[in-house]
């Protein structure tokens, strides 16, 4: 199709003067849960994640210390004050390959989604974005008051702020081939624990 044919088609569309269609009313779209934390725990379990509840960060630290992935971790990093320890100074890491032996990462989650068990991790909070995919095991710590009902509410929350890098994480890394053999940890962490604090 030549440029003139394209111009003819576009001109014909403009002359047609199709009336604007009213946008649908999206009021009430989505779901609401009576107990967001309980729904989040169920959704997280459905995607092979582990749920913990702690009254405060000190209680979260004690609960995590009981987990085998925590006790067995020879190298861990925590970006959540008062929870876990940091064996690596992320500010001193110049190449993400230096994190190859990282066994446990404890990161802050900005908010959680009750509908599907996902947690939003803001990339600005990470010195290296590779941290959440290179670690063997991942712990996300989220304030219990920061659980939203569904992805509509989550996206509205993200749209209200400036554009930024981040990711939703729901459960450990999973992939399946055409033979439907499920592999955990193929492209990221082999386990995910989410601690709701408060």
Highest mean pLDDT among 73-77, 159-163, 179-183: 73-77
| Residue 95 CB-half CA count within 13 A | 4
Higher pLDDT pick, 60 / 21:
60
Residue range 38-66: mean pLDDT, rounded:
96
Sorted by sequence, the CB contacts under 8 Å of residue 196 that are 6+ apart come out as 37, 40, 51, 52, 53, 54, 112, 142, 143, 144, 147
| Phi, psi angle pair for 52, to nearest 5° | -130, 150
Q: What is the pLDDT of residues 107-145, one digit of tens each?
A: 999 999 999 999 999 988 787 888 988 999 999 999 999
What is the Cα gyration radius of the chain? 22
CA distances from 107 to 80, 81, 145, 178 (A): 6, 10, 17, 33
- Of the options 2.60.120.10, 1.20.1540.10, 3.40.50.10420, 3.30.2130.10, the CATH number for the domain spanning 31-197: 3.40.50.10420
Look at residue 28 and tell me whether its pLDDT is greater than 80.
no
Give the global pTM: 0.83
Q: What is the pLDDT of residues 2-24, one digit of tens each?
A: 678 999 998 888 888 778 888 88
- The structural domains of the chain, with segments of one domain joined by +, span 31-197
Predicted local confidence at residue 151, as pLDDT: 94
Tell me the pLDDT of the chain averaged across its residues. Answer: 90
Predicted local confidence at residue 76, as pLDDT: 94
Sorted by sequence, the CB contacts under 8 Å of residue 159 that are 6+ apart come out as none
């Amino acid at each position: 199709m030549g440029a003139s044919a394209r111009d003819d088609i576009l001109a014909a569309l403009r002359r047609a003067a199709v009336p604007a269609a009213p946008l649908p009313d999206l009021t009430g779209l989505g779901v609401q849960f009576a107990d967001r934390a309980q729904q989040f725990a169920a959704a997280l379990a459905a995607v092979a994640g582990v749920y913990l509840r702690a009254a405060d960060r000190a209680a979260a630290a004690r609960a995590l210390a009981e987990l085998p992935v925590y006790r067995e971790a020879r190298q861990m990093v925590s970006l959540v004050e008062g929870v876990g320890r940091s064996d690596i100074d992320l500010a001193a890491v110049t190449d993400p390959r230096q994190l190859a032996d990282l066994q446990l990462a404890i990161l802050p989650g900005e908010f959680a989604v009750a509908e599907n068990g996902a947690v939003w991790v803001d990339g600005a909070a990470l010195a290296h974005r590779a941290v959440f995919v290179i670690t063997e095991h991942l712990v996300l710590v989220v304030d219990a008051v920061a659980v939203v009902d569904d992805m509509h509410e989550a996206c509205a929350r993200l749209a209200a702020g400036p554009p930024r890098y981040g990711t939703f994480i729901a459960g450990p890394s999973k992939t399946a081939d055409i033979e439907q053999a499920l592999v955990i940890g193929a492209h990221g962490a082999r386990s995910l624990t989410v601690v709701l604090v408060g």
